[in-house]
Amino acid sequence: MTDLEYLEKNVDKKNLKKAKRKLEKGIPVQYIIGNVDFYGYKINVNKNVLIPRFETEELVENTLKYINKYFKGNIEVLDIGTGSGCISIALKKQNEKINITATDISKKALKVAKHNSKRNNVNINFIHTNLYDGINNKFDCIISNPPYISYDEKIMDIVYNNEPHIALFADNKGLYYYEEILRNINKIINDKYLICFEIGMNQAKDIISIINKYLKNPTIEVKKDLQQRDRMIFIHNFE
Ligand SMILES: C[S@@+](CC[C@H](N)C(=O)[O-])C[C@H]1O[C@@H](n2cnc3c(N)ncnc32)[C@H](O)[C@@H]1O
């Protein structure tokens, strides 16, 4: 379906003319409509949050497989850089034994995430902080889709011109946040842990080096998305 067809399907007749003008101006259709379907759940989006991507649904799907296989009872999960709250909401909806804490540095993003958790009827502990500063409890699972685009990478105009740059770009060839998250990870993970990252398609090798700097003998599994690109890394110590 084209964006125009999608717009026509989702916007009522009286607002369609205005909506079409926005589309012509290069506004993403998801921001015009105001919501997306993520893992079967309605997630509101506006210019303050990244539009959830299909690859992130794959991150959620794989994370749930690990959690359901290796953890029994309640599971404490930390979602770093929650944005619209899509990952947290999908995880909680799929497994009620998961307790979620979710952080973001953007207050405006957290407002959207809180709204989304209410509309989906899930309870999430949202915290406004830099990564996990000030969080002293421990988690079984850390999940993050951090900003990972290098500042010199050429990205599509529609993304560059509309989505929040704080959600997209990172220093050090896009690796900055992986290192910042992993640097003190031992302080916030339980003895048995699972760490799940979405990654850029050419970053796996560099991220594996960072992981080995901060964790002792981890098992590292790189997973491909449906287009056969390396897009997720799972790190754990149970096998
Ligand atoms: C790539 S977006 C991911 C959003 C959402 N989790 C998703 O998968 O669609 C990265 C998110 O990290 C947040 N972020 C950027 N720097 C951060 C920091 N230092 N601490 C916490 N969150 C941060 C951004 O505001 C943004 O919401």
CA neighbor of 19 nearest in space, from 35, 40, 33, 36: 33
Q: Is 210 in the pocket of ligand 1 (CB under 6 A)?
A: no
How high is the pLDDT of residue 239?
A: 72
Express each pLDDT in 182-209 by its tens digit: 999 999 999 999 999 999 999 999 999 9
Give the Å distance between the CA of 94 and the centre of ligand 1: 22
In the chain, where the domains are located:
1-33, 46-236
Backbone angles phi and psi of 190, in degrees to 5: -75, 170
Give the Å distance between the CA of 81 and the centre of ligand 1: 3
CA neighbor of 85 nearest in space, from 41, 54, 135, 55: 41
CA 45 to CA 32: how far, in whole Å? Answer: 9
Express each pLDDT in 101-131 by its tens digit: 999 999 999 999 999 999 999 999 999 999 9
Express each pLDDT in 153-164 by its tens digit: 999 999 999 999
| CATH architecture classification, 46-236 | 3-Layer(aba) Sandwich (3.40)
Neighbour count for residue 190 (Cβ, 10 Å): 14
Give the Å distance between the CA of 145 and the centre of ligand 1: 7
Number of the ligand 1 atom closest to the C-alpha atom of 81: 12
Average pLDDT (161-182) is 98
pLDDT band at 144 (very low <50, low <70, confident <90, very high): very high
Pocket test for ligand 1, best of 43, 50, 111, 178 (most atoms within 8 A of CB): 50
User: Whole-number mean pLDDT of the chain?
Assistant: 97
Average pLDDT (144-167) is 98
Pocket test for ligand 1, best of 82, 110, 172, 199 (most atoms within 8 A of CB): 82
Average pLDDT (49-72) is 97
Give the Å distance between the CA of 105 and the centre of ligand 1: 7
Express each pLDDT in 71-81 by its tens digit: 999 999 999 99
Q: Is 52 in the pocket of ligand 1 (CB under 6 A)?
A: yes
CA 55 to CA 190: how far, in whole Å? Answer: 27
Question: Which residue's CA is minimally distant from atom 13 of ligand 1?
Answer: 81
